[in-house]
Structure 1
Amino acid sequence: MTGPRTPLEATNATDATDTEAERMTHRLNPIDEVFLSMEGEVGLIHGQFLRFGGKPPPLKELHDHLAQRLPGLPGLTHRLTSSSGRQRREPADAFDPAAHLEEQEFPAGTLLDGVLTALVREPLPVNAPPWSMRLVHGYADGEFGICYRVHHSAEDGMGAAHVVSALFGDCGPVDGRRAAAGPRPLISGSMRELVRGTLSVGAGLGRALVPARAWPRAPKPRPERLGVCSAGATSNELRELSRRCGGTLNDAFLMTLWQALNDWSATGEGHLRSRLRTTPVAVRMPLSTRRPGEDALLGNHLTTTVVTLPARGTPFDVAFTQLAGRTRRMRAHGLRPASRALVGILPPALTRWTVRRLLSPQASPLYASNFSLPTALSFRGAPAVDVTPLGVLLPGNALSVTLLSHGEQVRISFLYDRALPEAEQLAGLWRAALDTLSASA
């Protein structure tokens, strides 16, 4: 399916001073440690695929570009070590981006989803910071792609968005010392928010341990079983749908997902599809606990919540009202500030136990995330014409969906286990659902 990949020979090496190493060494937080314990899960590598117009550059140009920008991104230049029973990040000795760079050529005419599927099956470098970048070309005339992927233990979705912005934005990354700094004050909400948020965490834990409708656990997929399908839209299409129904862009995303899942499960066999036909779908969504100015924080700073989509057959206006009400209550429950405080206050072992339970696949059959990138992304003066997200597949789930906004463009991608019948149709069904719901609204 793909052509040969050519590693770039190492050309530069940088050594941190003892003072810098001491300053830049820090512990993983308990959420990072949970994802690190899942390191063998092939679905826990996420990132973005950026497409640029023009002739693909030599790989050395991308290497030199990274060498200039990486000093301000310590998360990409740090390796994991163990100290006193806790994992820590510290600067990698003689780090060079060449170990993380490869060039990959596809046959002419390869569809974008075929390119993405091949990329998500690739492993990350071993015994090195857990990320990779590929210069991709050949699949289409007059364009090339750059694919950035990173393990979830190193970055959450917001962190990966910050890295891409720092690498390909108009401005370089912030000072590395600020990027390596620990979280700001833990208490970021009122006492009322903290109490309500703590109760929400407890309720979510209860639902994870004893779900009202337990979903089947999917077997661990092999790399060759992963698949990706994607579709595009404009931000205005989603905003217009949300305005007509009194919701947010995220509500419009979930409503179109609801319709696409209804259409996908309407026919065909398969245990999960049968359940989707008869049971309201519980969707797990990440919520960032970062405060303004904390985009550069390393690691995972998030919590999750479950949003139940409307029952199949519910009239559109009733369904949208139900969904908007559920997400509005979710935002008002103080879950973000409470989760932020609990991660910093509770013993790490208790936090790890709680996070693992909250990610239980029995409580929800899929993971859905929604984030954005800044408009001005470019390489060698060529603007990024399109950015497709590559999401994660949590252990025990067979399907996830990610929506990414980049300027006025929106891209959605579904990552799935190919054991799911006809899952490759989901992106097209989502695009059709957006058209149908926009017309009916």
Structure 2
Amino acid sequence: MPFMPVSDSMFLIGETREHPFHVGGLQLFKPPADIGRDYAEVFYEQLMATTEVSSDFRKRPGQPLAVMGNLTWIIDDEIDFEYHVRREALPSPARVRELLAVTSRWHSAPLDRHRPLWEMHVVEGLSDGRLAVYTKMHHAVIDGVGALRMMMRSLSDDPDARDCQAVWAPAKKRAKSSIVSTTNTSALDLVRGAAGAVKQIVSIPPGLLKYGRHALSDPQLVRPLSAPHTMLNVSIGGARRFAAQTWSMERIKEAGKALGGTVNDVVLAMCSGALRTYLEERNALPDKPLIAMCPVSIRAEGDQNAGNSVTALLANLATDKPDPLERFSAIRDSVQAAKSVLSEMTPAQRMLVGALNGAPALSAAVPGLVDRATPAFNVIISNVPGPRTDMFWNGFEMDGCYPASIPIDGVALNITCTSSGSSMHFGLTGCRTSVPHLQRILSHLEEALVQLEESVA
């Protein structure tokens, strides 16, 4: 039984029925022009033809439901594909609205720890002829960036390719020259590895001192526990609502270029403007600016392994400023300050800073404290870069890729977006009770982008 790193096991230890810790994604595919009306069956059968399964899709916690079981994995030899891969049909002709409603219910249900921690739903019945695939996988197995890279590995940029395998297929083996053999590891290699681990641990105290100095001296750097209390920072139940929409990447890039910022700055400014309007409509906008927790991947380029390799920064959303240009400048300066600090740190230091930024959220484990304690942050916002070209799976063109992520107790809304080709796809996941009329935030995101465009026109 392989041991489970603490960075993975914490997602199992902290999970409850009301607070499931799985990441998901909803993809939309256009069938190829030369396929018949049975395209959903063809897609499903091609998936099921992939019988070789990566170990990441075969592992489950040892001793399910026991705390000690969260420290080890069991690798199953056989997979019950009829359970894990489900063919579904919406009442035809269905709209995307009905698809999002059923996705909300699927995303609300925790994964069964007695089985490998993933599910896939292949959905037909949309009135526009597209096919949908909803997949979820436990955060203990993989983080959002890893999940996106794993999915993209199964796709091709060639519309004529017909050799794509399912996402659970093992990664193609690299050339032998790039593989380090674990069976031939020398004593010197082990010593070097141990020395590296010790070096990382020793580097932590200086990293904390460095972070503390920046927090005291840089007014743009968001300090922990500076977030106001809002209607989003309450105890949440287990029911989720999921909303999704696509924007042109060209619009977002042009706005960023004109404003002297990045794509990520524009995404945060869109979220800031949308949340400001949403809270104003409900007479719930605080005087202090909202603070966003933004996960930041520290994976090496090309790393397609499962597991978790992520830190977090805090960003000032400047929702106290009515002017969109002033909001954008404050957001950009805040993010630049946080990234500047992280860039000076080792990976171990970055992970620790991320843990410190999110540590106050652990107060949610104390009954009744969430509604009284100062929130660590108000909302989770993540931007996961995807492929720059259009992608296909055995001729089916991916037309949408919407992340479904994790709200937590005390933070009822998670906004995650990912890019693919010429599009930016937003996925909003919220507590069904605490974030009423979630879909309105989609309209406010468009309004916020228009405001930015008009401000520099």
TM-score bin, normalised by smaller chain = 0.7 to 0.9
Map 1:7-406; keep pairs closer than 5 Å. 26-40=2-16, 41-54=18-31, 55-58=39-42, 60-68=44-52, 70-71=53-54, 74-81=55-62, 87-122=71-106, 123=109, 124-169=111-156, 173-175=171-173, 195=206, 199-200=210-211, 208=224, 210-211=225-226, 213-214=228-229, 217-223=233-239, 226-269=240-283, 274=284, 276-294=285-303, 296-334=304-342, 337-341=345-349, 356-357=359-360, 362-374=375-387, 375-406=389-420
Compute the displacement of 1:438 (Å).
1.1
8 Å CA contact 1:159, 1:299 repeated in 2:
yes
Shift of 1:201: 8.0
Question: 1:301, 1:340 within 8 Å by CA — same for their partners in 2?
Answer: no
What does residue 454 of structure 2 align with?
439
Residues 348-384 of structure 1: per-residue CA shift (max 9 Å, x gap): xxx9899654666711121110012223532222221
Aligned residue identity for 2:385 = S
Q: C-alpha displacement at 1:211, in angstroms?
A: 4.2
Cα distance 1:316–1:220, how it changes in 2: closer, same or farther (>3 A)? closer
Asked whether the 8 Å contact 1:34–1:355 carries over to 2, the reply is no
The Cα shift of 1:247 comes to 0.8
SS of corresponding position for 2:136: strand
Q: What letter is aligned with 1:367?
A: I
Check the 8 A contact 1:47/1:147 in 2, yes or no: yes
Contact 1:79 1:128 in 2 (8 A): yes
Give 1:417's aligned residue: 431
Aligned residue for 2:28, secondary structure, equals strand
After superposition, the Cα gap between the structure-2 partners of 1:207 and 1:440, relative to the gap in structure 1 and judged at 3 Å, is closer
The unaligned stretches of length 5 or more in structure 1 are: 1-24
Tell me how far apart the structure 2 counterparts of residues 254 and 150 of structure 1 sit (CA, whole Å).
26
CA distance in 2, matches of 1:212, 1:404: 26
In structure 2, distance between residues paired with 1:281 and 1:354: 15
* Cα separation, 1, equivalents of 2:80 and 2:227: 50
Corresponding residue for 1:407? 421
* Residue 45 (structure 1) shift: 2.2
Of residues 445, 454, 457, the one that matches 1:430 is 445
Residue equivalent to 1:8: none
TM-score (norm 1): 0.78
The aligned length equals: 396
| Aligned partners of 1:255 and 1:320 also within 8 Å | yes
Q: Is the 8 A contact 1:194 1:334 kept in 2?
A: no
Q: Decide whether the 8 Å contact of 1:368 with 1:401 is kept in 2.
A: yes
Aligned 8 A contact 2:19 2:238 in 1? yes
Q: Is the 8 A contact 1:303 1:336 kept in 2?
A: no
Aligned-partner residue type, residue 53 of structure 1? K
1:162-208 CA-partner distances (Å, limit 9, x unpaired): 22112334677233997999xx966999x99994566438969x955
Q: CA deviation at 1:65?
A: 4.5
Contact 1:133 1:147 in 2 (8 A): yes
Instruction: Tell me, yes or no, if the aligned pair for 2:324 and 2:451 is still in contact at 8 Å.
Output: no
What letter is aligned with 2:234? A
2: CA distance, partners of 1:409 / 1:331: 25
Identity of aligned residues (%): 19
Q: For residue 279 of structure 1, what is the amino acid of its counterpart?
A: K
CA distance in 1, matches of 2:344, 2:80: 37
Question: 1: distance between equivalents of 2:316 and 2:173?
Answer: 41
Cα pair 1:266 1:277 within 8 Å, conserved: no
Conservation of the 8 A alpha-carbon contact between 2:84 and 2:119: yes
CA change 1:410–1:198 in 2 (3 A) is farther
Query: Following the alignment from structure 1 to structure 2, what is the Cα–Cα distance between the partners of residues 60 and 298?
Result: 25
SS at match of 1:367: strand
Structure 1 distance, partners of 2:235, 2:263, is 33
TM-score, structure 2 length as denominator? 0.76
SS at match of 1:49: strand
Instruction: Give CA-to-partner distance per residue, 1:246-288, whole Å, 9 cap, x none.
Output: 111000001111111111122225xxxx1x3422111111011
Call closer, same or farther: CA 1:139–1:125 in 2, change over 3 Å: farther
**SS in structure 1 at match of 2:51:** helix
| CA–CA separation in structure 2 for the residues paired with 1:31 and 1:300 | 6
Note the C-alpha offset of 1:99. 2.9
Q: CA deviation at 1:237?
A: 1.0
Change (3 A) 1:415 1:107: same
2: CA distance, partners of 1:201 / 1:301: 23
Report SS of the residue matched to 1:266.
helix
Paired letter, 2:25? Q
Higher mean Cα deviation, 379-388 or 104-113?
104-113
CA change 1:187–1:58 in 2 (3 A) is: farther
Structure 1 contact 107–138 (Cα < 8 Å) conserved: yes
Q: Deviations over 1:69-128 (max 9, x none)?
A: x33xx2112222269876123421323433311111112243324313322322334411
Instruction: Judge conservation of contact 2:24–2:135 (CA < 8 Å) in 1.
Output: yes
Aligned residue type for 1:174: K
